[in-house]
Structures are given as C-alpha cells and as structure tokens.
Chain A
Amino acid sequence: MSTCEKPRTFVLLEELDEGIKGEGDGTISWGLCDDEDSSLTKWIGTIIGPPKTVFEGRIYQLVLHCGEKYPKVAPEVKFNTKVNLPFVSATGHIDSRRFHYLLNWTKSCTMKSLLKEIRRLMTERSYQKLKQPPENMEY
C-alpha cells in the first residue's frame, strides 16, 4: 500500500547517512556531490578496483543522478574515470539495458548495492581480458 512508501527525501537521507558511515572495508563510498544540494540529486560514488583483477589499484569515480522519481526510477549512472566494461558506453554512461542491476531496478535498491554490484562485476573472469585505459583518465 502506498501509505507505507518512504518518500524520496528520506530514502536519500538514509543513503546519505549510510554513506557517511561508509561501507566497512572502504571499497566503495558514496555521498552528495555538493553538500548544500538540498534536492539530493547529484551523487558521487567511488569504487576501489578489486584486487587480483585488471581493475586493481585503481579508483573509479562515478556520478549518480537521482531524479524526481527516485527510488522508483533508477538513477542515471556515469563513470568519470575511464574504464572499459561492456555495459559502459564510450561517454562513460552505464547502459541500463546492458546492466542487469539497473534493468531490474526496484525501489528497494540503493546506490550502495549498485556500486557493490559494479565492483562485483569487475571480478568477473570474462572482463579480465578487457584492455583498460591508462590510469586516471577521465571521460
């Protein structure tokens, strides 16, 4: 029933609180791009490339755009740091049609789990053959 639905603001404030606490191992983090952005729209996320992968030792920065209909509608996600992944376009945008997590997005999904999923995919064996651009390149 709709009456139990958590409004966008409070969903995002919770995600913000959790982001400040951080994910235990620090492999991912997220927060507002601008801490004065009361619309809570533009977020920045970072992923530390998982060890023993081609992404190891790199820090990937992403921008997440949470629109008016978040969390019913998935955020738009774009890599700032250059990366070669099949679901990331030439401009760094994540193609939601090629990324199952965005494709199957529900209102209970979070930016944290989204970032975790991207990081998990970085450990996929089939992606280890992908040639990665030099470090610290930006889109």
Chain B
Amino acid sequence: MAGLPRRITKETQRLLSEPVQGISATPDENNLRYFHVTINGPKDSPFEGGVFKLELFLPEEYPMAAPKVRFNTKIYHPNIDKIGRICLDILKDKWSPALQVRTVLLSIQALLSAPNPDDPLANDVADNWKRNEAAAIKTAREWTQKYAMSGGQ
C-alpha cells in the first residue's frame, strides 16, 4: 500500500467494512485509486430496479481535488450526459476535502432520486424533463429496463 495516502486507505477500509445501502465500491485489482462502483436505482424513482455501473478515480491531488466519476451504464437523466458524465456541484466547484467517496456516491444516488433539469448536462433530456415530465420519466424507466437490468449494458 506504499504510496497510497492513509486517507484513501481508510476510506477504502470503511467502504468495504461498512458498505452503504444500495452502493458498492470495489478498488481495482491493479489500481487502488480506481473503483468499480454500482449504485442501485433508488426506490420510487424511474431508475428503481436498475443497477448502474460507474467508475471512480481518486486523482493525485485527492482529497484536495474531487474524485472523478462517470456512469458506465447508459442512463436517461437530465444531469447525466450520453457518455456518462455527471453534472453535480460537489464534483466540481463545490468539492470540499471534508467530503469522501462515500458522500460523493450518496450524492449521486440522491441525484437519481431527484433529477435537476434546471442544472442540466444533457440538454435534450432536460428539455424533455421540463416539457413533459411524464414522458421523460417513462423514457428513463425504459432505459433503465433496457440498459440497467439483468446485467444489461
């Protein structure tokens, strides 16, 4: 574990020993700064029942700089774009070193529960969400079914 800051070690230990409900984060075999993450779609959201895969990387400057996260599973969400990038303030300017991987993943889970079309990354999705929320939610549910269930893409 040489070269790996104590903080990352501690966080990893915590993640493994006290996992968060509906979230798993496993360090990569060859790169302990790189995590394979799954987040279960929150209850009562269009993503319910889906298992979303993400990847997370702790950059050299961590915890002074935010972790880097992206969705690997396709998802229809106004704050997540076509290539899985997430629009979340704490991953950008609202990052604080007091935040942790655990908190970041919880925030992402929360984002799934409460999409925020006013701060969009995927403009067309946000437009749909604002114009016809029901249809958008329907699409999101279809995508969840198509891509995030039974080991879909």
Contact, CB under 8 Å: A36 / B60: no
Q: A3–B33 contact, CB under 8 A?
A: yes
Q: Is the CB of A4 within 8 A of B72?
A: no
Interface residues of B in 14-35 (CB under 8 A from A): 28, 30-34
- Say whether A3 contacts B57, CB under 8 Å: no
A2 near B70: Cβ-Cβ < 8 Å: no
* B contact residues around A36 at 8 Å (CB): 82-83
The SS class assigned to the A binding surface is loop
Q: A7-B57, A9-B70, A10-B57 are in contact. Are A2 and B84 (CB under 8 A)?
A: no
> Is B152 part of the binding interface, using a Cβ–Cβ cutoff of 8 Å?
no
Q: How far is the CA of A1 from the CA of B84 in the complex (A)?
A: 28
The reply to whether B83 and A35 contact each other, CB–CB distance below 8 Å, is yes
Residues of A1-58 contacting chain B, CB below 8 A: 1-7, 9-10, 13, 32, 35-38, 40
CA–CA, A32 and B32, complex, Å: 29
B85 at the interface (CB under 8 A from A): yes
CB-CB under 8 A from B28, the residues of chain A are: 7
- Looking at the assembled complex, report how far the CB atom of B36 sits from the nearest CB atom of chain A, in whole angstroms: 10
Assuming the contacts A35-B83, A38-B82, A38-B83, asked whether A6 and B59 have C-beta atoms less than 8 A apart, the reply is: yes
Residues of A within 8 A of B3 (CB): 1, 3-4
* Interface residues, chain B, with chain A CB atoms under 8 Å away: 2-4, 28, 30-34, 55, 57, 59-60, 68, 70, 72, 74, 82-85
A residues contacting B by CB (< 8 A) are: 1-7, 9-10, 13, 32, 35-38, 40
